């Protein structure tokens, strides 16, 4: 049985500096979550807000210390990460 190719992941430009400053454990936890999301973007996470389209999703990572928000573009098979919060 073949698995589908994962969705590509793009980060908002504004997140570049934040990604570099995250602790190692946060970056590892984020990478693990995004890898899982890339294979099942709409089935993963939860809807960001009820007032936004279904494609706007969020997921917690790092035992709940982090949150990542992303938009799913099924047409382009891409995830666009718009927000990361780390409180660990």
How much is the pTM? Answer: 0.88
Residues 36 and 30: their CA atoms lie apart, in Å, by 10
Q: pLDDT truncated to tens, each residue of the chain (88 aa)? A: 445 789 999 999 999 889 999 999 999 999 999 999 999 887 888 888 889 899 999 999 999 999 999 999 989 999 999 999 999 7
- Edge-to-edge order in the sheet of strand 78-86: 8-11, 78-86, 66-73, 56-61, 46-47
Task: Report whether 88 contacts 74 (CB < 8 A).
Answer: no
């Amino acid at each position: 049985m073949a698995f589908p190719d994962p969705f590509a992941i793009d980060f908002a430009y504004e997140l570049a500096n934040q990604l570099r400053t995250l602790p190692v454990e946060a970056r590892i936890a984020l990478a693990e979550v995004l890898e899982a999301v890339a294979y099942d973007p709409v089935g993963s996470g939860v809807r960001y807000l009820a007032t936004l389209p279904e494609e706007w999703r969020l997921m917690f990572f790092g035992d709940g210390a982090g949150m990542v928000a992303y938009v799913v573009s099924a047409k382009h098979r891409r995830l666009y990460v718009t927000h990361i919060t780390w409180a660990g």
